[in-house]
Amino acid sequence: MLSYATPVQLLRSVKFNIGLFGAIMLASAVGTFVPQAHEAPERVEVFLRAHPTLGPLLEAAGLLDVYYCRWYAALLLLMALDTVLCTAVRMRARAKEDEPGSFQKVSSEGSQGHPLSAEISVPVQPQEALSRLRRFLSLRGFRSRPVPGRPPDGTTLLVTRHALQWWGTVVAHLSLVVILAGAVVKSLFGFSEFVPVSEGECRAVRNRPGWSLCLDRFTVKYYADTGAPSLFASDLRLMEGGRELAGGRSAVNSPLAVDGVRFYQSGWGAGGESRGITLRFEGKDILLVPGKAQTFPGGALSISLLGFAPDFALSRDDRVLFRSIEMGNPAVRLKLAARGRRGRVIWLLQRFPDIAFEEDSAGRISPASPLPMSLLAVDAVMFSGLEAGYDPGYPLVLGGALAWTVGMLLLFYLHRRRLWISAIPAPGGTTVRIGAWSSRGAAAYKREFDNLMSLAGQEVGR
């Protein structure tokens, strides 16, 4: 059982922190296995129907919306508080590190395992011995300063190399708080909304009254071999009170940014409207536009465009199915009327020019006899799904992330060494006593320290 004198001690304890880490990890992991309301509300509905007992229990515990529920936010907040507290305590302890008698303290407590120590005999007076040693260490990147007062262990010089390493801990820990603060700022002052807009239309941006987003042109390109999109982008204009505020292209990885609001290219599709189609009829290319029948020489045949399906498919009961809003299998619905005969409704498929279907008055589809025409292209009216996002917390998040990186570099890639040096008068000169501590632990530093002391013995001890 945990028993701590003060809440501060409890928050600082390793057991508590590991428990907190574990709780965050466990809750986060659960959220990846069960559907989450923020991400896929429809899947949550399905899950609740499929699990009538477990589902409501998980929902009541907030596990179907883990990352946005209060207790999860409380865990993150607790982590932030804990981080600030631990860092503050560490900074206080750091101030005490340089107090007189600190080597004795390190020696007795062994904060990093077993501290290292050595003795060198120098045939000069203590002041001269210290001065020589200082020069020797200075050439090797150590910075030295005398210890004030009269330390009980006799230390007179404190020497440090890569002292910045200590700040790595502080910077890294506080950067986490800054990142969390950025997330809080976003949730309080930021917004994100989906703005679907068709070509040639404008749509209001709800979170920015007066703004409307107009889509002039949507461009989509496909890979020839797979048919997968290789590029999709929107040419946009942002209007405010009838005047153009900004304009430009928004593509994936390259959003349009206006006054801190960024318009991301999120999705796209074809709604079933077209500006026109191109048919090849008896060797000639014909442009057909909606609502205007095309009559052919002699008036024997007229063709009119009735509709368009971006992703044509057949249902089990032989009706046309609009499978998706992507241009997966574009098909057009045409009315063919020959002079003196009843008109026929047919479907032509762009990707399968040899196949045509005929639609009866009840809407049923059947294969049609070969026609002397094929569908070459569809100029579909596309709609673009844009995500309008405003995130005033992002600079904080980015700053925190950079600080974290710097902190990590300092903390783990710098090697801090501290040497406590005392010079004691001895017959024939001075005995210099050196104690050492390393941020990488005594074992990792031992070889380097022994080499350093051996060199010091040769150079200073002459």
Candidate ranges 97-105, 204-212, 313-321, 399-407; the one touching another protein (CB under 8 A): 399-407
CA 330 to CA 378: how far, in whole Å?
Answer: 8
Residue 316 neighbours by CB under 8 Å, 6+ apart: none
Candidate ranges 55-63, 245-253, 272-280, 349-357; the one touching another protein (CB under 8 A): 245-253
Q: Which of residues 431-460 bind another protein (CB under 8 A)?
A: 440-441, 443-444
Residue 89 as a binder of another protein (CB under 8 A): the answer is no
Residue 264 as a binder of another protein (CB under 8 A): the answer is yes
Residue 412 as a binder of another protein (CB under 8 A): the answer is yes
Candidate ranges 100-108, 130-138, 230-238, 273-281; the one touching another protein (CB under 8 A): 230-238
| Phi, psi (deg, nearest 5) at residue 419 | -125, 130
CB–CB of 290/283 below 8 Å? no
Return the residue of 156, 266, 422, 430 that touches another protein, per CB under 8 A: 266
Q: Would the CA dihedral through 90, 95, 101, 103 be positive or negative?
A: positive
Residue 61 as a binder of another protein (CB under 8 A): the answer is no
Return the residue of 170, 177, 408, 426 that touches another protein, per CB under 8 A: 408
Residue 9 as a binder of another protein (CB under 8 A): the answer is no
Q: Which is nearer to another protein, 189 or 412 (CB)?
A: 412
Adjacent-strand bridge partners of 384: 197, 268
Q: Which is nearer to another protein, 388 or 432 (CB)?
A: 388
Size of the site for another protein (CB under 8 A): 55
Q: How far is the CB of 391 from another protein (least distance, A)?
A: 7
Cβ burial, residue 7 (10 Å; 0-12/13-18/19+): exposed
Q: Which is nearer to another protein, 146 or 227 (CB)?
A: 227
Residue 108 as a binder of another protein (CB under 8 A): the answer is no
CA 244 to CA 236: how far, in whole Å?
Answer: 10
Q: Which is nearer to another protein, 92 or 243 (CB)?
A: 92
Q: Which is nearer to another protein, 199 or 391 (CB)?
A: 391
Adjacent-strand bridge partners of 241: none
Residue 166 as a binder of another protein (CB under 8 A): the answer is no
Helical packing angle, 70-97 and 14-33, nearest 10°: 150
Return the residue of 325, 394, 399, 461 that touches another protein, per CB under 8 A: 394
Other C-beta atoms lying within 10 Å of the C-beta of residue 201: 14
Residue 397 as a binder of another protein (CB under 8 A): the answer is yes
Q: Would the CA dihedral through 435, 439, 444, 448 be positive or negative?
A: negative
Closest CA to 360 of 331, 399, 408, 319: 319
Residue 253 as a binder of another protein (CB under 8 A): the answer is yes
CA 14 to CA 29: how far, in whole Å?
Answer: 22
Residue 232 as a binder of another protein (CB under 8 A): the answer is yes
Return the residue of 126, 269, 389, 435 that touches another protein, per CB under 8 A: 389
Return the residue of 67, 136, 167, 322 that touches another protein, per CB under 8 A: 67
Return the residue of 183, 214, 327, 349 that touches another protein, per CB under 8 A: 183
Closest CA to 40 of 53, 31, 30: 31
Residue 43 as a binder of another protein (CB under 8 A): the answer is no
Residue 371 identity: L
Adjacent-strand bridge partners of 239: 212, 244
Residue span 336-375 as binding mask against another protein, x where in contact by CB under 8 A, dash where not:
----------------------------------------
Q: Which of residues 22-41 bind another protein (CB under 8 A)?
A: 22, 24-25, 28-29, 31-33, 36, 38-39
Given the DSSP bridges, would you call strands 284-288 and 331-338 parallel, antiparallel or unpaired? unpaired
Adjacent-strand bridge partners of 195: 386
Return the residue of 5, 139, 228, 362 that touches another protein, per CB under 8 A: 228
Binding footprint of another protein on the chain (CB under 8 A): 14, 17-18, 21-22, 24-25, 28-29, 31-33, 36, 38-39, 67, 113, 182-183, 192, 223, 225-226, 228-232, 251-255, 262, 264-266, 387, 389, 391, 394, 397-398, 401, 404-405, 408-409, 411-413, 440-441, 443-444
